[in-house]
Amino acid sequence: MPANTRNAVTAIIYFAVSVMITAWFIEQKFGYAVTPDAILLSNIVAAIKWVVMTIAAMVLLQTNKWVFIRRMAFACLAGSCAMFSTYAFRFIPVSSWQQFTYAMAFALLMMTVFFFKAVANTRLSLKWFWVWIAILIISVILQVKVVFNLHPSLVTNKVSPAIASCFDT
């Protein structure tokens, strides 16, 4: 099997497994009251950063495009797998809000580290990394503010009414 084909197939497998893990994780809700539409939108927002960067790589890179896409897909998969850390955080005495937040922060850290490695190991300009970081920030903002409209009153694990009232409009 040619190297480009092998890299493309591996990238597709990594992305597919990542999509399944992410969709499952979002569907679990982890203490948040969300609708099926919000779950679908969350999956779309989670995937769009990878779609944008994959299209950019396919269009803009002349060499090593499939190597980079495979490495990028691994970063995506690593971030998705890191979300399983939610189960480890359940063993420490923190609220479900904190468990979810810590798991997401860990997932973002894993994706960032592995995406940086993908850029560096493929010898691409750091502009690729910084563009992805910008897209990641936009993605996180969309998840928090638009998709879930997250604030403590949405948490179902007995949030203090005083804290929840801070977010009432």
Q: How confident is the model at residue 30 (pLDDT cuts 50, 70, 90)?
A: low
Q: Residues 57-112: pLDDT tens digits?
A: 999 999 899 999 999 999 999 999 998 888 887 788 877 777 778 888 999 999 99
Partners of residue 32 on adjacent β-strands = 155
Residue 41 has a CB neighbour count (10 Å cut-off) of 18
Average pLDDT across the chain, whole number: 81
What lies within 8 Å, CB to CB, of 6 at 6+ separation is none
In angstroms, rounded to a whole number, what is the distance separating the alpha carbons of residues 33 and 30? 9
